Each structure stands twice: as C-alpha cells, then as structure tokens.
Copies of this chain bind each other. A is one copy, B any other.
Amino acid sequence: MRNLPIHIAISPDLYTKNPDSSDLGRRIVCTSIEMIDELGFEAFTFKKLGSRIGSNESSVYRYFESKHMLLLYLINWYWSWTEYQLAFAVHNIESPREKLEKAIRIFTQKIDVDNSFSHINEAILGRIIIAESSKAYHTKDVDKENEKGFYKTYKRLVKRVSEMILEINPSFEFPHMLTTTVIEGAHHQRYFSEHLPALTDFEEGKNNIVRFYTDLVFKAIENR
C-alpha cells in the first residue's frame, strides 16, 4: 500500500464542511492531531487550534460542530485507514490462518506512518486512538450516535475480522468478542507499557504484544 494515493472517504454525517475539501480543512485535521496528542483531549480547544493554524475558533466550527465530532471524525478516519491496511495485507493470501495472523499483527504491532496520506501522521493518530478513543463512545449519547452510524467503520472492521475467524472455525461461538478483546486489549497494553508498566509484560523489542495476542487467538479458536 506504500505510496499509493488512496483516498479515505469519511461519512458526511461526521463533519459540517468536508475538511478534505480545502487547505484550511486539512490543516485543521492534521494540526488537531498534533495538539490532541500534545495537550490531551480535555485541554485541547478549538480556540487554541485556531490560533495555532493562524486562523480562529469560528473557522474551525465551520468544519466541525464540536470537539467531540472532530474526535469521531479522526476515529473513523483511523479505522478506515486500518481497513485498507488489512485489505492490502491479506490480498492474494489463500490460507485463512495466515490471513488472520496478518490481521492480528496489524492490530497489535506498533503503529507506523504510512506515506500514502500526506497530511495525516498515522503514528500520532494511533496514539490518540489508544489514549482518547474510548472517550468517544463512553458518553450518554452513545445509543443516539450509534443509530446515526457514527461507529459503523469500527463495526465493519470487527465484522470483517470475525468472518476471518469463522473461516477457520465456523463453529466458534464468540468471534466478535475475540476480535474486540484483541483490538481493545492491544491498545490497553500499549498504553500500559508507557504509563502503567505493572499492568503489562511489555519488553522493548521482544514483540510481546503481537506474540501474546496471536497465541491467544489461535488457541481460543482451536477445537481443543
């Protein structure tokens, strides 16, 4: 997938004006990624963002209704991008086990920059997803927002991986649980490894997160 100019389409429900349609919009997105990473989501404001990009608050509001909608946009962008990574990784691979192994690696390995999408730094965005994405759905509005389709990118990805699992073992009862356990779990382990190391068994360069979850999945779907 490297260096191919693939375009990631985001549902118009997630923005007021498409940030990909103007230079200002793209600067809003890429600078917001930097700033959320630097300041954390709570300390990040549209006012600060506006002044950093040499514009102002009201211009940002013309693209995104709220901070929260911007976060949802970023999350959906990230999962769409991951979906492409996944599609590319399993392309032309026959073996269902090999396909699943590649998928697990994508979710559990360190997130790397992908040159295909110039203005977005996926490594930084990955850190935001790890640290902030749960705040997007742990809200009193989840149900309403779920109906509006704000989480559909993630759900589609989970469905895709679940199908890979069923390809290997069609009688496995819990493919969705296993998939979300791996995706969310890997994020936790990455976060813990940096901030709460007592909660993990991370060791630099030993690929423990990938190894742990790969082993976990293949043992789980085995018919004893």
State the A residues within 8 Å of B (CB): 39-40, 42-43, 131-132, 134-135, 137-140, 142-143, 146, 151, 154-155, 158-159, 173-178, 180-181, 184-185, 188-189, 191-192, 195-196, 198-201, 208-209, 211-212, 215-216, 219-220, 222, 224
- B142, B191, B219: the one contacting A195 at CB < 8 Å is B142
Q: A40-B139, A135-B138, A216-B216 are in contact. List 8 more A-B contacts (CB 8 A).
A: A146-B196, A158-B198, A173-B211, A174-B201, A178-B216, A180-B185, A181-B185, A181-B189
Shortest Cβ distance from residue A67 to the other chain B in the assembled complex, whole angstroms = 12
A201 and B216 within 8 A (CB): no
Number of copies of this protein chain within its complex: 2
- Whether the Cβ atoms of B155 and A199 lie closer than 8 Å is yes
Give the chain B neighbours of A212 by CB distance below 8 A.
Answer: 173-174, 177-178
Contact A198 B139, beta carbon cutoff 8 Å: no
- State which of B142, B151, B175, B196 has its C-beta within 8 Å of the C-beta of A142: B196
The 9 closest A-B CB pairs, nearest first, are A40-B140, A219-B219, A181-B185, A142-B195, A174-B212, A174-B201, A155-B198, A134-B134, A176-B201
Contacts of A185 in B (CB 8 A): 177, 180-181, 184-185
| Contact (A138, B132) CB under 8 Å given A177-B209, A220-B215 | yes
**A134 cross-chain contacts in B, Cβ below 8 A:** 134-135, 138
A196–B137 CB distance below 8 A: yes
C-alpha spacing A180/B140, complex, angstroms? 25
Contacts of A43 in B (CB 8 A): 140
